[in-house]
Amino acid sequence: MSVIKNVHLKGKDFLSLKDFMKEEIFYLLQEAAVMKQNKIDHILTGKTLAMIFEKSSTRTRISFEAGMSQLGGHALFLSSQDMQLARGETLADTAKVLSGYVDAIMIRTFEHEKVETLAKYADIPVINGLTDLFHPCQALSDLFTIQEIKGSLKGIKVVYVGDGNNVAHSLLIACAKVGCKMTVAAPEGYEPDQEVVKLAKEYADQAGAMIEVTNDPVSAVRNADVIYSDVFTSMGQEAEASERLNIFSPYQVNETLVSYAKPDYLFLHCLPAHRNEEVTTKIIDGPNSAVFQQAENRLHVQKALLKALLI
């Protein structure tokens, strides 16, 4: 792909990839590749990122914190329980206060409406580090990893197997915008949100891509270039764990299922993984797996995002 120039994202919020054009997505991927080659670049000296966590985190917290440090800036870890949010201060007031202290806000929370409210009242960029509806930072990293390994995104068949959750939603939007063919295989009643699927299909039509949802994992993974999995039970669903394990067991990514994919298929997982539940140890630790390269890429992609939003 030719070098993309004249893309201006300074001051923009990053709540969902719905709000980003294809060219802007490819620009961020291009910048991420530069960041991966040049890990230390103090372009954000004097900048501060506030990170609000209502959900626990490994990759999101560490990649943003390390990324700000490598770019010369500073990240503040803010547990919602340690803030006045826990005592009833509104998100609107919090957004206005933080806007006077820091240069951007990243929040990892439950309801997507919280991110939207924060963005509405903040005068600085707000980044969605994860909500129950979307996980755009993960999807951007997924695209970067696929492009890095496969050499291209156009026409790549990506198959997500499992719960139609926030990761599936963001991946649907991301793949549709950049021209991937994406199929989600989920049990009946656990398919992705219908409005998200409808929107993804509209983007796919514009990009010459394809979006499909099915209950049949075998038909889904036929000739797949990428097989993607996530835990069967996400944060906040622990009470459903036994029931979900039973319902989702036919959707385990194992040797039998991947035999229907292309021989050089790529296995991805947003992590953390529950080995021998949604994916067998042999697959996630096997030669087709790129889950740790994918995890590392969160750092490079988020540095590219921070640079684009703040410079």
Tell me what pLDDT residue 129 has: 98
Q: Is 57 annotated as a binding residue?
A: yes
Binding site annotation covers 298? yes
Mean pLDDT (the chain, rounded): 96
β-pairing verdict for 266-269 and 181-185: unpaired
- 230 marked ligand binding residue: yes
Residues with catalytic annotation?
A: 108, 135, 138, 230, 270, 298
Q: Is 99 a known ligand-binding residue?
A: no
Tell me which residue has tokens 């390390």.
66
d(CA 131, CA 204): 23
Angle at 153 between CA 285 and CA 112, to 5 degrees: 80
Q: Is 138 within any annotated ligand binding site?
A: yes
pLDDT above 90 (res 175):
yes
Q: Is the dihedral of CA 153, 159, 164, 166 positive or negative?
A: negative
Q: Is the pLDDT of residue 2 over 80?
A: no
CA–CA separation, 64 and 120 (whole Å) = 22
In this structure, are residues 43 and 72 in contact, taking their beta carbons and an 8 Å threshold? yes
> What does the pLDDT look like over 191-220, one tens digit per residue?
999 999 999 999 999 999 999 999 999 999
Separation CA 205–CA 137 (nearest Å): 24
Judge whether 145 is annotated as a binding position. Answer: no
For 43-97, write each residue's pLDDT tens digit: 999 999 999 999 989 999 999 999 999 999 999 999 988 898 878 899 999 999 9
Q: What are the beta bridge partners of residue 183? A: 159, 212
Q: Dihedrals φ, ψ of 78, to 5°?
A: -125, 105
Give pTM, 2 decimals. Answer: 0.96
Please report, rounded to a whole number, the percentage of residues in the chain having pLDDT higher than 90. 91
Do 228 and 269 form a contact (C-beta atoms < 8 A)? yes
Judge whether 217 is annotated as a binding position: no
Angstrom CA distances, 191 to 64, 74, 267, 302, stand at 30, 39, 21, 28
- For residue 117, give the 3-state DSSP assignment: helix
Cα 169 to Cα 172: distance, rounded to the nearest angstrom: 5
Give residue-wise pLDDT tens across range 212-251.
999 999 999 999 999 999 999 876 777 788 899 999 999 9
